[in-house]
Every structure is written in C-alpha cells, then in structure tokens.
Copies of this chain bind each other. A is one copy, B any other.
C-alpha cells in the first residue's frame, strides 16, 4: 500500500500558503499586544480605573519597577494607555486606558470565557 493512497481526510480541503499566513498575522498582532507576563495584569488593573505608577505597582504583586515602566511604555506606544503628568510636587503621573484600550475588553472577555472552560476541562482529567 502506498502512502499516497491512504484514506485519511488530509486532502479534503486544499488551501494555499498565502491564505494561512494572511490569516495568522493579525492574530499574532493581537496576541503580541497581550504578550508577556505583565501586560494583562496592567491592562486589567487599568480597566478598573485610572492609576498612578506606584498604585499599579502595589496592585500587581511581584512586578518590578523596571518591568512596569517598560510595559507601560509598550502599551503607550500601542495607543492603549495614556500617560498624564500632573505638575504637582512631587510629580505625579497618571495612567489611563484609552478608548482604544477599552476595545480590548471584549477580547479579554472571550479569552477569559474560553480559559474558564479550559481550566475546568483540564482539571477533570
């Protein structure tokens, strides 16, 4: 019996490379925005309300100042977070989720729902 003649379903839906790649790229973009250990905690923390640097730091156990600073800059570069400097003494900086940042809420919801179900499933094995 030749390999090529196997009765698998493998050949049923032919498709091109380009199709796949084009379909993957934007998904990757979205995942990148949420990637890493700290972006999600930061975004979710800001969904609950505007925060100052040290407030976020306190709310996220384990994060270092360096990572918080770096990730906030990342999120700002992606227009998801706005940084406002208050000219007080000492200087206070407030971080806000932009309107655009809030468009992530349904995305996070879908991920959460799937995640909850997945957790259930993996537990009961």
CA distance A28 to B36 in the complex (A): 10
Q: Which chain B residues lie closer than 8 Å to A12 at the CB level?
A: 49-50
Number of copies: 2
Q: Which of A1-23 contact B (CB under 8 A)?
A: 1, 3, 6, 8-15, 17, 19-20, 23
Report A44-96 residues with CB < 8 Å from chain B CB. Answer: 44-45, 48-52, 55, 59, 61, 78-79, 86, 88-90, 92, 94, 96
Check B30 against A44 for contact (C-beta < 8 Å): no
Would A110 and B107 count as touching, CB distance under 8 A?
yes
Q: How many angstroms between the C-alpha atoms of A70 and B102 in the bound complex? A: 36
Q: Can you show 30 pairs from A to B with CB atoms below 8 A apart?
A: A3-B90, A3-B92, A6-B88, A8-B50, A8-B52, A8-B86, A8-B94, A9-B50, A11-B49, A12-B49, A12-B50, A14-B49, A17-B59, A20-B59, A24-B44, A25-B115, A26-B112, A26-B118, A27-B115, A28-B40, A28-B115, A29-B119, A31-B31, A31-B111, A35-B35, A78-B118, A79-B121, A79-B122, A107-B111, A110-B110
